[in-house]
Amino acid sequence: MCVQRHLILILAIVAPVSSDHFRITGWFGANVTLPCRPELPGYQSCCGGCPLLATGARPGPLTVETTEVRERSLKVQWTPAFDGGRPVTSYRVDLKSKEASWDTAVITQILNPDLTHLTLVDLHPAKSYNLRMFATNSVGTSHSSNVLTITTKEAAPEGPPLDMQLEGLTAHSIRVTWKPPKPDLTNGVLRSYVISYREYDKQFGRWQRLSVSATREVESIVLSNLKPSTQYGVLVQAKTNAGVGPAFHGAALLHPG
């Protein structure tokens, strides 16, 4: 007696396994009724009770999105796609600098197939990254998910300004010059510098503070109305929208009046 086989199938590849078996591989998703006697040249009739062996496929690509972006971390979540008829066993996350190739990506393996979110840490502030994901089952690995481009938030600079120099101009003034911090320590766009100064021997004295916009490769400011024959301590700090960084310390002795 001919028996019809009901499979859930969208696109299939039918190949002979032996003289009385067919193997069907494909993406499943719609009800299709296969006749017992398919008109396929070179294949035997299905009548007589020959079994159909359905194999799975690799998973479909994931859909991934960010849920939180901070200075040094980001959170992502993903929506599982069709698993290909075989349970997903793991996920893979690739993260790289935006300008770099995927060959340089940092790979994170997720061995819990029930997980749908992840926090990535130890990132650099104010830096752009690309992220993609893959799902794997017993058949193989999916195509890439959508690729995210993420820029982490700014942070306060981690490095002080460089090459600070103090020059006594007159008995009452000092010129201060300096350069920006190292680029990989700025942690964002430099907006300004904070210059603090006071008499050097007054350790508990009040600091006088000035601000200079960050516009040039070599910045300078003149401190005036100072006391003659007096040593002054000077601090210079770089500032982003996220905060102020560490200071470069210096001292200068004014000429006698």
Give residue-wise pLDDT tens across range 149-172: 999 999 999 999 999 999 999 999
| CB contact at 8 A, 235 and 221 | no
Coil, strand, or helix at residue 102?
helix
Domain check: are 88 and 131 in the same one?
yes
| Single residue among 151, 173, 208 that ends a domain in this structure | 151
Domain final residue, candidates 151, 171, 203: 151
**The pair of three-digit structure tokens given for residue 99, joined into one six-digit string:** 């300008």
Cβ atoms of residues 152 and 125 within 8 Å: yes
Same domain? 234 vs 203: yes
pLDDT band at 228 (very low <50, low <70, confident <90, very high): very high
Q: Are residues 136 and 171 in the same domain?
A: no
* Same structural domain, 132 and 186: no
Q: Is the Cβ–Cβ distance between 131 and 147 less than 8 Å?
A: yes
pLDDT at position 84 over 70: yes
Whole-number pLDDT of residue 54: 58
The mean pLDDT value for 175-193 works out to 97
What does the pLDDT read at residue 253? 82
Domain match, 125 and 184 both: no
Q: For residue 200, which phi and psi values (nearest 5 degrees)?
A: -65, -35
Query: In this predicted model, what pLDDT tens digit does every residue of 211-222 receive, in sequence order?
Result: 999 999 999 999
Confidence at 179, pLDDT banded by 50, 70, 90: very high
Kindly state whether residue 87 falls inside one of the protein's structural domains: yes
**Is 15 within the bounds of a domain?**
no
> Rounded to two decimals, what is the model's pTM?
0.73
CATH number of the domain that 97 lies in? 2.60.40.10
More confident: 93 or 28: 93
Domain count, the chain: 2
In a domain, 33, yes or no: no
Q: Minimal CA–CA distance to 26: which of 16, 13, 17, 38?
A: 13
More confident residue, 27 or 257: 257
Please give the Cα distance from 205 to 180 (Å, whole number). Answer: 27
pLDDT attached to residue 149: 98
197 assigned to some structural domain: yes
Q: What is the mean pLDDT of residues 52-59?
A: 76
What is the SS3 assignment for 196?
strand
Q: Which of 98, 131, 151 is the last residue before a domain boundary?
A: 151
Confidence of residue 50 (pLDDT cuts 50, 70, 90): low
Query: CA 37, 41, 44, 49 torsion: positive or negative?
Result: negative
Separation CA 178–CA 194 (nearest Å): 12
Q: What amino acid occupies position 97?
A: S
User: Does residue 169 sit within a domain?
Assistant: yes
Specify the pairing of strand 74-79 against strand 31-34: unpaired
Domain that holds residue 227: 162-253
How crowded is the C-beta side of 94, counted as CA atoms within 13 Å?
18
User: How much is the average pLDDT of 30-50?
Assistant: 45
Q: Is residue 126 part of a domain?
A: yes
